[in-house]
A and B are shown apart, each in its own frame.
Chain A
Amino acid sequence: MLALCDLGLVLGLLFLSTPAMGSCLDNYQELLGQLQKQADFMQHTSMLLDPYISIQGLDKDGLKKHCRERPGVFPSKDALQQLSRQEFLQILNTTLGHVLHRLRTLQKDIPKAQDLEKLNIAKLNIRGFKNNIHCMAQLLPGSLEKTEPTPTGPGASPSPTPISDAFQRRLEGCRFLHGYHRFMHSVGQVFREWGQSPSRSRRHSPRRGLRKGKHRTHLSSRNKRLMPRGWLPR
């Protein structure tokens, strides 16, 4: 029942993220609210981490404490708060791209179709979220470099270094998912601060009317430099 509710919420959020349907919301506050809600939803460990721990048999007392995020894999909340809005969106977009790729790797270790369905929903959710990030980036003024909308096909991100040890692989997967949920929690808080801090928004006041069709560029080297070392998953 809970899974059904989750599914309904996810689908609802996805449908609200209109970029996936080909157009962006031009209302900054509305889009910001969308991003907040989606981030809040994606931070729940019941979406990915909890099923993964159960499936892989990591739900033992001696193992749980080792299923914690490795520092440096995902940007910390403080690091995210230090970024400008454009930089934040760039980092967020890139990080979620890697998450998508990692989820495809983890998919091989999910045996049951029911759990696979949950993983697929999470992937859809991330794609929708990335599209909303793209729309938000278009609304921000002075952003010469925009995020790219999420391609619907398999990602082109480099695959992480393969780990031959199955036990170590599942521990790393667990840590990664823990970090992912924590990261989305931080993202939600940053978005909430956007709504609460007009001073910053004045500096980066939303620019209305910038819609799709505008010039898009790939992630610049400048933005790549903004990615702290070790943020990318291994």
Chain B
Amino acid sequence: MALFSAFQTTFLLALLSLKTYQSEVLSEPLSLAPESLEVSIDSARQCLHLQWSVHNLAYHQELKMVFQIEISRIKTSNVIWVENYSTTVKRNQVLRWSWESKLPLECAKHSVRMRGAVDDAQVPELRFWSNWTSWEEVDVQSSLGHDPLFVFPKDKLVEEGSNVTICYVSRSHQNNISCYLEGVRMHGEQLDPNVCVFHLKNVPFVRETGTNIYCKADQGDLIKGIVLFVSKVFEEPKDFSCETRDLKTLNCTWAPGSDAGLLTQLSQSYTLFESFSGKKTLCKHKSWCNWQVSPDSQEMYNFTLTAENYLRKRSVHLLFNLTHRVHPMAPFNVFVKNVSATNATMTWKVHSIGNYSTLLCQIELYGEGKVIQKQNVSVKVNGKHLMKKLEPSTEYAAQVRCANANHFWKWSEWTRRNFTTAEAAPSEAPDVWRNMKSVQGHCVVTLFWKPLSKLQANGKILFYNVVLENLDRPSTLKLLSIPAPANGTELTLDQCSYQIHVTANNSVGTSPASVIAVSGDPGNKEVEEERVKGTEDGFCLSWKPQPGGVTGYVVEWCERPGDPLCDLQWKNLGPNTTSTVVSSDAFRPGVRYNFRIYGISTERIPYLLEKKTGYSQELVPSDNPQVLMSNLTSYSFTLSWKDYAAESQPGFVQGYSLYLKSKAARCLPGSEKAVLSDDSICCKYKIDNPKQKTFVVENLQPASFYEFFLTPYTSVGEGPQGAFTKVTTPDEYSHILIRIILPMIFSILLIMILCYLKSQWMKEKCYPDIPDPYKSSVLSLIKSKENPRLTIMNVKDCIPDAIEVINKQEGTRKSLTETEPTKPTYLYLLPTEKSHSGPGPCICFENFTYNQAASDSVSCGHVPVTPKAQPSQLGLLTSSENGPKALGKNYVNSLGEIPAGETNLNYVSQLASPMCGDKSSLPTNPPEPALCSEYKTQMAIPMGLASPPSITLLDEGEHDH
């Protein structure tokens, strides 16, 4: 091989020596010049593509050469770019080189030339430049067409922040051209008379549809423009990472950068290259790629992830050891075996990650959703772990995951299994309490017990055993089995003392017994109830420690005090406890809860110690009392509300507020001004004693209007606002009048009743019956005389000797009291020659009493009235209604003057006339005057007392006496 190389070099040198010789002969050195230079353009990329070849090389000759390339713009002397391009050249090999122009190629004519030189250490003597090729001209403008205006570059795509050169080519010399970037005018430099160039620096991203750049003529509608598509900066991939799960395949992931932000998304490609193996793969996905691990136990990997779009290429690198990037598969064949009440064994298998690798496995035990045990175990292939200290009859979940123990990379996924431990006998005695009552001489005991907690029950409780042990007859035992889930039972016992044992039983065994004793004496001694104040946290109860031996205390209460079932609750406390806080979600504001605190004797007999009552939260009274008003006087009234049940209020009633409204500006003593909710002002009396159920409102004004309203109050406030009751005090005189008038009326009534009852006696005393003369003893006396003619004087027989005429002024009528004493005028009716024309003389007796029997027989008064009666006479008649009274009075007076001895005979007859007092019914046919009876005066009125008749005598018929 070395021999061949030496031969080749010698041959080449010989050839070159020959060439050199020829050159020297021809006075022109031999050079390896580029030939067949061709230039093409890529307008979109603004690139010039050059391609050429070197023909003078020998067959299979390969030399390093350098090519110098010159690019000029507009004119060849204006070289804008010179670059040396080195490459290895073969004979007739087509060489390519590209150049990107900042200025759009359409904006100016470009020219290219190049020369070459050998740059090979093997032939250092050939290191000289060849001749330049001729200038190759690139003139795009000439092929643009005939439009008057062009703007370049068309639809160029750049990254934001780039520098861009823009030009316009104008074919019209008459118009001035103005160019704008998004409506803002740009100022450029004139490249030649037809071309103007604008350099944009740091172009921003404007919108998804690109940036509008346009040029237009000052006159006319000529406008041309381009859209510059500015994309956002292409970001490199982030979080590039590779891992294996099975040592066969590597999974590489990354987070691609943000989008370009253009309407036409730039296509992005991702390539994964591993440098140690030299392998490369084009990723199909934007964010992950798989790589097949080589089977030749390659441990180290050096990856390069290349992200590329039209504008930019970004790369990130990652070097790692394969065994350090193992992400194990999840464990399989996971089982939980040998599950007892407290233990269980978990077994599993893992996927191997190598012949000698060890996996670290993590086991977690979950109970009630929380991790209760956590263990790490080293595993080759098979794993096993014993889980201890488990609770009987409890559901658990165990899960396991593994990682490479030597080089931790990531945990595998969890594999989870659920299991339930076996049951065990209940560990705790049930919490038992009782309620006792006496029914018909028997002791009815209601036993209550709380269900055991899950930890205590150790399984499903099937039944409760209740053993009754008669303490008076210890040999007597009684067993009751109560199926679960009962939480109590009722026992009817005699008055004997019993000890009760309660146990809970599941399928495995029996719990310890809970013992409680009952005796004939319930022990509910009278204990004064105390008030306690509840809080949001509950009731804080405390009690005095018992001097004697107690085995504990029990606090008992009802969670539903108003409910007959009561929902009895209790709390067991130790013997050294003297306070506790009773809290419950069942406690409601405004409900009074009663607590009873029992001490448990050494004989397990509960006895009542204290009673407490209180509200978890007091409320204002729910209703107001019905107030009754009494004893209303002019100055006071009394209010009472004895039926009001303060205990049923949602708070302790601390007293009552009495609101009194009146017209008085000032409040009475004992009250104070208060403003009601309706802003009205009234006086308020505060009654601090809640047991006071009456109240006297005093110092009121007589005949005044008042309104009152009574409401209870608790520590929270007063009861609801209610209606005021109206009351008006009476006048004080009416009160007095009532005091006088009522007794008077009563007295009068009493007298009337007495008078009625004693009417006979009164009659006898005050107005005795007129004695019947025929029955008089005088008659017998007279009859005893011999004169037969003497007889009892009959009215008919009497002859009036005088008629008393009362002068009365016509047309006037006065009351009896106002009537002036009228001097009676008497008409003497004793028989005279002239006046006597009737059948016989009539004598009228005037009598103070009225004798109906006599009046019936009287005919003398019935004097026929002649039609010719004079008005004056009628006037006399009409006044007759007053007549008898006046007459009577006068006669009484006159009688008073009569000697007592003569009174027996002194009768003045008062005869009733049918027309008496009936002047409206004057008889049209007056009855014929009856024959006047014989009257015999029993008393002759002295003549001297009578005035001579000075008036015309009335007819008999016209006289009503």
Contact = CB atoms under 8 A, between A and B. Distances in A.
Contact of A171 (B155, B183, B223): B223
A60 B206 CA distance: 14
A111 B207 CA distance: 10
Interface stretch (B194-202, B208-216, B643-651): B208-216
A109 B213 CA distance: 17
Contacts of B208: 111-112
Given A60-B183, A66-B223, A170-B227, A111 B209 contact: yes
A63 B226 CA distance: 13
B221 A62 contact: no
B351 interface: no
A4 interface: no
Contact of A63 (B155, B210, B214): B214
Given A60-B182, A109-B263, A167 B225 contact: yes
**Candidate in A111, A164, A166, A168 with the most chain B CB atoms within 10 angstroms:** A166
A109 B263 CA distance: 8
A143 B211 CA distance: 51
B226 A57 contact: no
B475 to A, nearest CB: 93
A55 to B, nearest CB: 6
Contacts of A55: 207, 209
Interface in A18-71: 55-58, 60-63, 66
Given A166-B227, A170-B227, A171-B223, A60 B155 contact: no
B154 interface: yes
B695 interface: no
Contact of B183 (A61, A66, A168): A61
A171 B213 CA distance: 12
Contacts of A168: 224-225
B97 interface: no
Given A60-B183, A109-B209, A165 B154 contact: yes
A165 B213 CA distance: 12
A165 B210 CA distance: 13
Contact of A167 (B182, B207, B221, B226): B226
B180 interface: yes
B212 A167 contact: yes
B155 A62 contact: no
A164 B155 CA distance: 9
A165 B106 CA distance: 15
B75 to A, nearest CB: 30
A167 B179 CA distance: 14
B369 to A, nearest CB: 44
B182 A57 contact: yes
A170 B223 CA distance: 13
A60 B184 CA distance: 9
A170 B210 CA distance: 11
Nearest to A58: B212
A171 B215 CA distance: 13
Interface string A208-232: 0000000000000000000000000
B214 A167 contact: yes
B183 A167 contact: no
Contact of A62 (B151, B214, B224): B214
A66 B221 contact: yes
A167 B227 contact: yes
Please classify how large the interface on chain B is, using the bins under 10, 10 to 19, 20 to 34, 35 or more: 20 to 34
B101 to A, nearest CB: 20
Contacts of B229: 166
Nearest to A59: B183
A62 B227 contact: no
Contacts of A66: 216, 221, 223
Contacts, number: 60
A170 B209 CA distance: 10
Given A63-B183, A165-B155, A166-B155, A57 B212 contact: yes
A57 B154 contact: no
B166 to A, nearest CB: 12
A187 B214 CA distance: 34
Contacts of A61: 183
A127 to B, nearest CB: 26
A63 B223 CA distance: 9
Contacts of B206: 57
A109 B212 CA distance: 14
Contacts of B227: 166-167, 170
B13 to A, nearest CB: 57
A60 B209 contact: no
A227 B225 CA distance: 33
A112 B261 CA distance: 12
A66 B223 CA distance: 8
Q: Which of B180, B216, B225, B229 has the most CB of A within 10 A?
A: B225
A167 B182 CA distance: 12
A168 B225 CA distance: 7
Given A57-B206, A60-B183, A63-B183, A111 B212 contact: no
Contacts of A63: 183, 212, 214, 223
Nearest to B208: A111
Interface in A106-150: 109, 111-112
Contacts of A57: 182, 206-207, 209-212
Contacts of A62: 180, 183, 214, 216
A164 to B, nearest CB: 7
Contact of B263 (A111, A164, A171): A111
A15 B797 CA distance: 139
Nearest to B150: A165
Interface string B538-563: 00000000000000000000000000
A183 to B, nearest CB: 21
B426 to A, nearest CB: 67
Given A62-B214, A165-B155, A166-B227, A56 B209 contact: yes
Contacts of A60: 180, 182-183, 212
B186 to A, nearest CB: 12
A165 B183 CA distance: 19
A166 B213 CA distance: 11
A53 to B, nearest CB: 11
Given A60-B180, A62-B180, A166 B154 contact: yes
B258 to A, nearest CB: 16
Nearest to B227: A166
A60 B185 CA distance: 12
Contacts of A166: 154-155, 210, 226-227, 229
Nearest to B223: A66
Nearest to A55: B209
Contacts of A112: 208
A222 B209 CA distance: 43
Contacts of B214: 62-63, 167
A105 to B, nearest CB: 14
Contacts of B155: 164-166
Contacts of B151: 167
A62 B179 CA distance: 10
Interface in B315-331: none
Tell me which of B207, B214, B216, B226 has the highest count of chain A C-beta atoms within 10 A of its own C-beta. B214
Contacts of B212: 56-58, 60, 63, 167, 170
A173 to B, nearest CB: 11
Interface of A: 55-58, 60-63, 66, 109, 111-112, 164-168, 170-171
27 contacts: A55-B207, A55-B209, A57-B182, A57-B209, A57-B210, A58-B212, A60-B180, A62-B183, A63-B223, A66-B221, A66-B223, A109-B263, A111-B209, A111-B263, A164-B154, A165-B226, A166-B155, A166-B229, A167-B151, A167-B212, A167-B213, A167-B214, A167-B225, A167-B226, A168-B225, A170-B227, A171-B223
Given A60-B180, A63-B223, A165-B154, 14 more contacts: A56-B212, A57-B212, A60-B183, A62-B180, A62-B216, A66-B223, A164-B154, A166-B226, A167-B214, A167-B224, A168-B224, A170-B212, A170-B227, A171-B225
Q: Which 7 A-B pairs have the closest CB atoms?
A: A60-B183, A167-B225, A166-B227, A111-B263, A111-B208, A166-B155, A57-B212
